[in-house]
A = this chain, B = another copy of it.
Amino acid sequence: MSLRRSPIGCPIRSICLFFKRAKVLPLHKENIHRKSSRRTKTIYLIGEGTGETIDKIARASLAQFLCEDLKVKKFFQVRSKEQIRKISNGASEDGALIAFSIVEPSLRDFLIEETRSCGIKAIDVIGDFIVQLSMFLEEKPMEVPGRQHVLNEEYYRRIEAINFAVKHDDGKQPQGLRVADMIFVGLSRTGKTPLSTYLAHQGWKVANVPLHPDMTPPPELFQVDQHRIFALIINVETLVKVREARLRQVGLTPDARYADPVRISDEIDWCKAFYEQNPGWHVIDVSDKAIEEAAASILNIYQSKKRSKSRI
């Protein structure tokens, strides 16, 4: 039988993304002039694998610029000279800057030659770091692409953690709480689900339980080690903003009872009082924090608790 296959090794596919970010420039004359007189700049990101590394580096670096008229074109799974040639020609036409992460030597050298002959700049974003590591480790780099994604026992543990988080989301299967590394509790829209799946992708077994004045949490929540429970708290302004955003996302009007500031304030007061009754829980303020930032705070606490326990 013939099955259509995934396109590894097929002709290049590019993705055009406009990195969106908050615009902080005030709207005075000088800035309007500056914006309109400036041509759109283009950056090409090239990776030989999934493109995660180059994407992460580009996002972190570009966040340091306003770059209002910037176009980012991504090319991943680039594994042939033919692909490199086409991309270089495109970059030359666009007058683009190329940022790449390619470890396979002949492909990397070819890219450098091609871009040089096209007169465009290409930056090897982790090449220098690999050279420095090589000197420090006194070991030659393997120069083999895709070595990050080894399907070993650690990988399967991570997959298991993701399945666990989804199965134990929103208070489901409370009997599973006893085997969770961490448990998140909090009001609706305090980020329990995104936090759980984010940390699950890092290999942590996470469950979450919703709290509401009219609901009784499952008894299992109080039977587990209470120091593994992270109680999310948020201020009224942020929760109103988050719930309004939620209503917009699902196409409802923002005047619903769900985003009513008075009601939200009551919910938060109840929640704080409830947390005070459970002094073993770690209270985490998630107001105005992205899930990545809240996760970093939680991991800091979790790891330091674990270390202090192992010292006892």
Q: Which residues of A contact B (CB under 8 A)?
A: 1, 3-8, 13, 15, 20-22, 41, 43, 49-53, 56-57, 59-67, 70, 76-77, 97, 99, 101, 103, 121, 123, 125-126, 128-130, 132-134, 136-137, 139, 141-144, 146-157, 159-160, 162-163, 165-166, 169-170, 191, 193-194, 197-198, 200-201, 233, 242, 245-246, 248-250, 272-273, 275-276, 282-285, 288-301, 303-304
Contacts and interface: CB of A to CB of B under 8 A. Distances in A.
B49 A163 contact: no
Contact of A300 (B7, B64, B67, B148): B7
Nearest to A245: B156
A193 B194 CA distance: 14
Nearest to A42: B136
Given A194-B159, A297-B7, A141 B64 contact: yes
Contact of A123 (B132, B139, B194, B200): B132
Contact of A21 (B152, B233, B249, B276): B152
Given A4-B282, A6-B298, A148 B22 contact: no
Nearest to A22: B150
B13 A300 contact: yes
A246 B130 contact: no
Contact of A137 (B65, B134, B272): B65
A129 B50 contact: no
Contacts of A295: 50
Contacts of A129: 57, 61, 99, 123, 125
Nearest to A132: B123
B249 A160 contact: yes
A91 to B, nearest CB: 12
Given A3-B275, A136-B97, A285-B6, A152 B22 contact: yes
A20 B67 contact: no
A204 to B, nearest CB: 12
